[in-house]
A = this chain, B = another copy of it.
Amino acid sequence: MRELPPSHPFDDDKLKEECGVFGVIGVKDAANFVALGLHALQHRGQEAGGIVAHDPVQGFNSARRFGYVRDNFTEASLMETLPGPLSIGHVRYSTAGSKGQTAIRDVQPFFGEFAMGGAAIAHNGNLTNANALRRELIERGSIFQSSSDSECIIHLMARSLQRSIAERMKDALRRVEGAFSIVAMTRTKLIGVRDPLGVRPLVLGRIGEGYALASETCALDIIGAEFMREIEPGEMVVIQDGEIESFRPFEPKKPRFCVFEHVYFSRPDSILQGRSVYETRRQIGVELARETPVEADLVCPVPDSGTPAAIGFSQESGIPYAMGIIRNQYMGRTFIEPTEQIRNMGVRLKLNVNRALIKGKRVVLVDDSVVRGTTSRKIKDMILDAGAKEVHFRIASPPTAWPCFYGVDTPDREKLLAAKMTEDEMCEYLGVDSLRFISLDGLYRAAGEAKGRDAANPAYCDACFSGEYPVAPSDMIEKGFALKAAE
């Protein structure tokens, strides 16, 4: 299978969002809209995508493919096999399920035929008690077809004694723990649900007489839908015949939206919690410049995710903004290495330093995060090779010291640089003149919490920084994961 070019030049050294979901009802050729919506959400999952559509005459149809939406869901011959006014879709990067080698069976939406008809679901997030549920379901005679945690939901629905699919879904979701933003469909209904904490985003839009659900607003923009509102944490909406019904199937909890969606996962042109993601990131740069000032000649982003924060840093500090590192827009990671070794070839395939610009300069490099640190070292090498006088790293998030269990692909804790080193040790390890992270408070301020983080009652899920998990990761604890010791 052909190797897929990564969305970010250093995917190996990034946290990766896991999934994007999209659904639409009440339009002709709904699957074509879904293809567009998924294309706009491709950054949330580049490994595979799937679409299910329902047509009153032709019933349910589906297509699942590895690779990009633009390569797979643009053939007329395929899209014609997905007729009907109701459709949902999913893009995925493997989180739960077989890492690396996803089987096509793991590609969502999942479909179940129930006694009262079929239903398909697409899930963004991760269930923290999926292993336990799976074990129980297998013992009772369920046959799992995928290695995905999400499949539990459809089996729980199959075994529910409720008479309607929406009720069965409520039943099922009351059994699961963790993060879920779900778009589902029956023959006549489009359904959206968000877990009580609202960890992952989910938004509602209007298009003509119909409605759309999407992980992010940028997917509403591409189909020309008007953004109406976010689905609220703990809310389930059921859309049928132009009517939207809202339910609250779960016990209410204080919301804990993922702060990393602001930092890196969401697209800069999306609107989260009423704010431009781009603007939040620029503001992070502003906060960072205030918290960690430095004397330098240039502020350069590590492309592309560091760009908004670098702009903010430059604006606040007055140090000129410049494109010191140029990204190769054609990317590629699989060239044959010539026998005469090329130093840091992997990085060179994706980035090149603007040598004439950098030479002799004191450079502030703004990046979104440090995960393993491997890439940061290589970038520093390139910048120094090009003759920079000083290199100062400024990071638009706090040190990432804990894995995420809510739908983000994070390395094991022992691979996280910040789990093993202090900020100074990291600075020395990376070999830069200075390395500074934004504080958790600074991040919260940039994300709209003027007073910073309320330790007793934080507004966000920030477990990857703080180690405070709002839902106990029970499957992982069973496997031996050690929570942060109480202080």
Cβ of A348 under 8 Å from chain B: yes
Chain B min CB distance to A447 (Å):
14
Complex Cα distance, B10 from A219, in Å, reads 21
Contacting residues, chain B, for A322 (C-beta < 8 A):
278, 282, 311
Closest B residue by C-beta to A32: B338
Complex Cα distance, B29 from A338, in Å, reads 6
Indicate how many identical chains form the complex: 4
From B140, B330, B339, contact of A69 by CB (8 A):
B330
Contacting residues, chain B, for A68 (C-beta < 8 A):
330, 332
Chain B min CB distance to A207 (Å):
8
Cβ of A326 under 8 Å from chain B: yes
Contacting residues, chain B, for A141 (C-beta < 8 A):
140-142, 155, 158-159
Complex Cα distance, B340 from A5, in Å, reads 32
Contacting residues, chain B, for A113 (C-beta < 8 A):
138, 143-144
Closest B residue by C-beta to A344: B224
Q: How large is the interface on A (under 10, 10 to 19, 20 to 34, 35 or more residues)?
A: 35 or more
Whether A311 and B304, one on each chain, are in contact in the complex, defined by CB atoms closer than 8 angstroms, is no
From B33, B140, B154, B222, contact of A349 by CB (8 A):
B222
Cβ of A166 under 8 Å from chain B: no
Contacting residues, chain B, for A246 (C-beta < 8 A):
none
Whether B330 and A42, one on each chain, are in contact in the complex, defined by CB atoms closer than 8 angstroms, is yes
Chain B min CB distance to A19 (Å):
16
Chain B min CB distance to A222 (Å):
5
Contacts beyond the supplied A39-B349, A74-B332, A278-B322: 8 A-B pairs with Cβ under 8 Å:
A29-B339, A36-B345, A42-B330, A79-B336, A115-B139, A222-B342, A224-B342, A276-B357
